[in-house]
A and B are shown apart, each in its own frame.
Chain A
Amino acid sequence: EAQVTQNPRYLITVTGKKLTVTCSQNMNHEYMSWYRQDPGLGLRQIYYSMNVEVTDKGDVPEGYKVSRKEKRNFPLILESPSPNQTSLYFCASSSGDLYEQYFGPGTRLTVT
């Protein structure tokens, strides 16, 4: 089954404790993105990747890092989480010529 998976689905952590949210897709897609969803703001892109070892900032990259060492994986790293990073995070992947993004189930992160 074609899918995008994220782990963990729920995470509660404390300020400053490094964390990683994993994202994996099994569709051999070139493009992958991370979005955060906040009430009243819709979804905003954090980072994106056009292929292995190619990443760039989206609209709200501050406080986040990403890497793309393998085509299927695109982890999101918060080196020093802060309460304003409490949000619902979505990973998405797409094939560049189809322009249709597939979304993971989301990771709800709470930073206290």
Chain B
Amino acid sequence: AQSVTQPDIHITVSEGASLELRCNYSYGATPYLFWYVQSPGQGLQLLLKYFSGDTLVQGIKGFEAEFKRSQSSFNLRKPSVHWSDAAEYFCAGDYGGATNKLIFGTGTLLAVQP
């Protein structure tokens, strides 16, 4: 079955440190891939997306993600984390078809230490 996996439930980083959040998608056709961020009490905001082409995609708020087909991964990175980045991050894949359905990972909760 198609799935998206986020291995890390909770990550804590220090402000100013680099960040990498992991995401793996199941084998088969490569889905369209997305990263969303959900701040406390807020809805989901799209950070970036990958459809095809350049495997390094830039997003908003200084985030980037790299698609690696050989590893079935789409990890999210940021070189220097700010306290305002504390939130929950969701990786999602759209495997196409008529439903336009996103399959979400279970999320990674990011805490930022001063």
A8 on the B face (CB < 8 A): no
- Decide yes or no: A100 and B104 within 8 Å by CB, A42-B90, A50-B98 being known contacts: no
Interface range, B side: 20 to 34
Contact B101 A45 (CB under 8 A): yes
Contact A33 B44 (CB under 8 A): no
A56 on the B face (CB < 8 A): yes
Within the assembled complex, what's the spacing in Å between the Cα atoms of A102 and B102?
A: 11
Interface string of B62-84 (1 = CB under 8 A from A): 00000000000000000000000
**Interface size on A (CB < 8 Å)?**
25
Contact B100 A105 (CB under 8 A): no
- Decide yes or no: A44 and B99 within 8 Å by CB, A100-B46, A104-B43, A105-B43 being known contacts: no
Within the assembled complex, what's the spacing in Å between the Cα atoms of A92 and B44?
A: 10
Contact A40 B43 (CB under 8 A): no
Within the assembled complex, what's the spacing in Å between the Cα atoms of A101 and B107?
A: 17
Which A residues are in CB contact (< 8 Å) with B98? 50
Interface string of B83-108 (1 = CB under 8 A from A): 00000001010100011111011110
Which B residues lie at the A interface, using CB under 8 A? Answer: 9, 32, 34, 36, 42-46, 49, 51, 90, 92, 94, 98-102, 104-107
Could you list 28 A-B pairs, sorted by A, with CB under 8 Å?
A: A33-B100, A40-B9, A41-B106, A42-B90, A42-B104, A42-B105, A42-B106, A42-B107, A43-B44, A43-B90, A43-B102, A45-B99, A56-B99, A58-B101, A90-B43, A90-B44, A92-B102, A99-B32, A99-B49, A99-B51, A99-B94, A100-B34, A101-B100, A102-B46, A103-B36, A105-B42, A106-B42, A106-B43
